[in-house]
Structure 1
Amino acid sequence: MTMTQSIRTEGADIVYDYEGNGPLLLMISGGGGAAEHYARISGFLAEHYTVVRYDRRGNSRSTGDTTIDLDMAQQARDAVAVIRAMSGEQAYVFGSSGGANIALQLATDHPDVIRALVAHEGPTSPLLPDADTWLAFAERVHSTFTTEGAEAAFKIFASALVGFDGANPQQARVAAGEMTTNAEFFMAREYLPLATFSPDLDTIRRNKVPMVTAAGRESDSAYYARTARIQAERLSCPILEFPGNHLGFIFEAASFATTLRGALDDLTSGTASQRR
C-alpha cells in the first residue's frame, strides 16, 4: 500500500510517496522531477525496502518558487528533509539522470545520510573530454526552448538519446520529461543547471561514500553513459551495467530492480566498494 505525506522545508512543501518494509531507499528523479517516474519499479523493490519517491520542489504536487533556477545544494537539502521526515538517519539512495547529479551533490554536502549510493547515468558533461560539444548542445536545447518552445527543445534533446531504436515511440518523450506536466518548468528552470553540473568528485572521495555508478546496457556511447564511466574512474568506484537504456527503471523495471538490489547488497557488505 502506498502512503503519501509532505514535509515543509525552505519555503516549499515536498510531497512524497512511500511503500514497503525494510531499510529506507530514497529515489531521486531527474528531468520532470516527479515521484511517478519510479512508481513501477517501487512495486518490485517494496518487498525489501521502504521505498520513498518524491516530487522535487516546483514539480507536480510539490510547491516552491518556480521563478528561480534549480539550486543543486537546495535539492540536496530537500533530499535530506525527506529522509528526516521518514525518521531516517541514513538511507540507501538511487538517482537517475539529473537525479543522479542531485545524489552526487548529496554525497558532497551530506554524506552522513547516505548508507550507499547508486548513481545511474548522471549527465555531468563538464567531465567529458569533448565537454565543449555537450555544453554547447545544452545551450542549444535551452535557447531553442526560449525561442521556439518546449516541443522543439525536446526534439533536440531526444536526438542525443541512445538505445531507443525500435522501442515504444513514447520512450524518448518520457526521457525528456514529458511524462508529467512539468515539461515547461524543467526546460525553463532545471535543464541547464542539471545538464551543466560539475560534481566535486574530490570531496565525494574524501567523504568515503559507499557508491557505484551505473550505465544502461543499451546506452552504449551516449554522453550520459560516458560520464558515468568517468565518474567511476575518478571516484575509484565500480561502474555497473544495468538493464535497458536511460529509462530502464521504467521499461525494464523488474530486472532493473533486481540489479539495483544486488548493487545495494554488495555495497552494504563491502563487496562492490569499500569506504575509500
Structure 2
Amino acid sequence: MQLHQGTVAVAGATLHYETCGQGPPLLLIQGGISEAGATRQFAGELARRHQVISYDRRGLSRSPASSEVPVSMRRHADDASAVLAELTARPAVVIGASIGALIGLHLAVDHPGQVDTLIAHEPPMTAVVADAEREAGLDAVAELARSDVFAAIGHMASLAGPQPTPQDGARPEEPVGDVREHLTWFFAHDFPAVRSAALDADAVRTVPETTRIVPTGGADNPHRWERRCAAELATALDRDLVELSGGHNGFVSHPWATAAEVTRLLREDRRSTSADAE
C-alpha cells in the first residue's frame, strides 16, 4: 500500500497526515493516543474504494503542538477540517472511534459542508450518558496520571472490562513516536478535553440532513459506557445503532470484518440517500 505524507499548519501546531488509495475522500480520526497509521490494516481495505486520509492529532508523534494553545474538541474539529481542506474540496466520509468519534461529531456540527457521512463509533459523551461511577473511576485515573501515566492508562483500561479476541492476523502498527510522551500529552490535554466536552444530542440534531450521522457500537461489549453513549445518541437521532465487529477498538482488532461492514453501510446509506431524493 503506497502512502503519501505531508503536513498542514494550524493554530499552534503542525499536523502530519498520510493518504492511501484513490477515490472519494474518507477521513479516519484515530482514538486514544493512536497515530495516523494505527488502523493501517483497516485503512488498506477501505483504500480499495477511497482516498483514505489519516493524521496524527496535535501533540502526538509527528504533529508537534504548543502547550500554550488550549486543546478542546472544537479545536480538534478545526484541525480535522484543515486536513480535509488541504486534500480535497469534496465532502468526505468521516470515520472516528472513541475520541475520534467525538471529534467527528464536532466536525459535523461546526463544518457540516465537509462531511458527507459520519460513522461515529462509541463516542465518549458525558452530556448524553451521565455515569457517576464512571466519573469517579476517571477521577482516579487523573490522579494516577500525575505520577505514572502507564498506571493511569492501565487503570483506565480496567474500567472498560475485557477486550474481545482479535481477528486472526490483526495487529496495530508499531508506534512511530514515544508512547510515554504520547500518554503524557494525552492526560494533560486530550483526557480533560473529552471529560469537559458538552456536546449533546440536541446540538448534533442541528446538523443539516445532507450530512448523515451513523452511530455505531461494538458487538462484543454491549455494556461498555461508550457503547451506551452511541446507543443513546442513535435513539435521539431516531436511528438504529449499527453494530460493528469487535468492541471499542474494533478498527484495529477486527480490521477486515469492520471494513466490510463499513463498506456495506456506506452503500446502504447511498441507496437510502438516492431514494430520499426521489
TM over 0.5: yes
Unpaired runs of at least 5, structure 2: none
Deviation at 1:165, TM superposition (A): 6.0
Aligned to 1:158: 157
Q: Which amino acid aligns with 1:152?
A: A
Deviation of residue 132 (structure 1)?
A: 2.2
CA contact (8 A) 1:141 1:157 kept: yes
| Paired residues for 1:11-90 under 5 Å | 11-66=12-67, 69-90=70-91
CA distance in 1, matches of 2:125, 2:37: 24
1:263-274 maps to which residues of 2 (within 5 A)?
263-270=265-272
Tell me the residue number matched to 1:228. Answer: 230
Q: Helix, strand or coil for the counterpart of 2:143?
A: helix
Give the aligned residue type for 1:118: I
* CA deviation vs aligned residue, 1:18-58 (integer Å, no higher than 9, x gap): 00011000000121041122222111111110000000111
Stretch of structure 1 that moved more, 193-202 or 5-14: 193-202
**1:165–1:21: structure 2 CA closer, same or farther, 3 Å change rule?**
closer
**Aligned-residue offset at 1:235:** 1.8
State how far apart, in whole Å, the 1-side matches of 2:88 and 2:28 are: 16
Retained in 2: the 8 A contact 1:17–1:35? yes
1:80 positional shift: 0.8
- Written as runs of structure 1 = structure 2, the 5 A alignment for 1:58-207 is 58-66=59-67, 69-128=70-129, 130-146=130-146, 148-164=147-163, 181-207=181-207
- State the alpha-carbon separation in 2 of the partners of residues 269 and 116 from structure 1: 13
Query: When the two structures are superposed, what TM-score results if normalisation uses the length of structure 2?
Result: 0.88
Corresponding residue for 1:256?
A: 258
Query: Residue 160 of structure 1 aligns to which amino acid in structure 2?
Result: L
1:159 is paired with a residue of what secondary structure? helix
Identify if the C-alpha distance between structure 1 residues 110 and 273 changes in structure 2 by more than 3 Å, giving closer, same or farther.
farther
- Maintained 8 Å contact 1:76/1:105: yes
How has the CA–CA distance of structure 1 residues 181 and 41 changed in structure 2, closer, same or farther, with 3 Å as cutoff? Answer: farther
Q: Sequence identity of aligned pairs in percent?
A: 27
Q: Do the aligned partners of 2:137 and 2:159 also contact (CA within 8 Å) in 1?
A: no
Structure 1 position 142, deviation (Å): 0.9
Alpha-carbon shift at residue 120 of structure 1 (Å): 0.2
Q: Give the Cα separation in 2 of the matches to 1:163 and 1:269.
A: 37
Give the whole-Å Cα distance in 1 for the aligned partners of 2:262 and 2:274: 12
Q: Secondary structure at the match of 1:13?
A: strand
Report the Cα distance in structure 2 between the residues aligned to 1:180 and 1:39, rounded to whole angstroms: 22
Q: What RMSD over aligned residues (CA atoms) do the two structures have, in Å?
A: 2.6
The normalised TM-score by structure 1 is 0.88
User: How far apart, CA to CA, are the structure 2 residues paired with 1:121 and 1:215?
Assistant: 5
Stretch of structure 1 that moved more, 3-12 or 17-26: 3-12
Which amino acid in the other structure matches residue 9 of structure 1? V
> Taking structure 1 as reference, are residues 132 and 196 closer, same or farther at Cα in structure 2, changes over 3 Å only?
farther
Against the structure 1 CA distance between its residues 273 and 2, is the aligned structure 2 distance closer, same or farther, given a 3 Å change threshold? farther
Task: Output the CA distance in 2 between the equivalents of 1:197 and 1:71.
Answer: 8
Secondary structure class of the residue paired with 2:159: coil
Distance 1:35 1:267 in 2: 26
Structure 1 residues 54 and 273, CA, compared in 2 at 3 Å: closer, same or farther?
farther
The alpha-carbon deviation at position 13 of structure 1 amounts to 1.2
Q: Secondary structure at the match of 2:33?
A: coil
Contiguous gaps of at least 5 residues in structure 1: none
Q: 1:273 offset after TM fit, Å?
A: 11
Once the two structures are TM-superposed, the CA of residue 192 in structure 1 deviates from its matched residue by 2.0
State the secondary structure of the residue aligned to 2:37: helix
8 Å CA contact retained: 1:72, 1:105:
yes
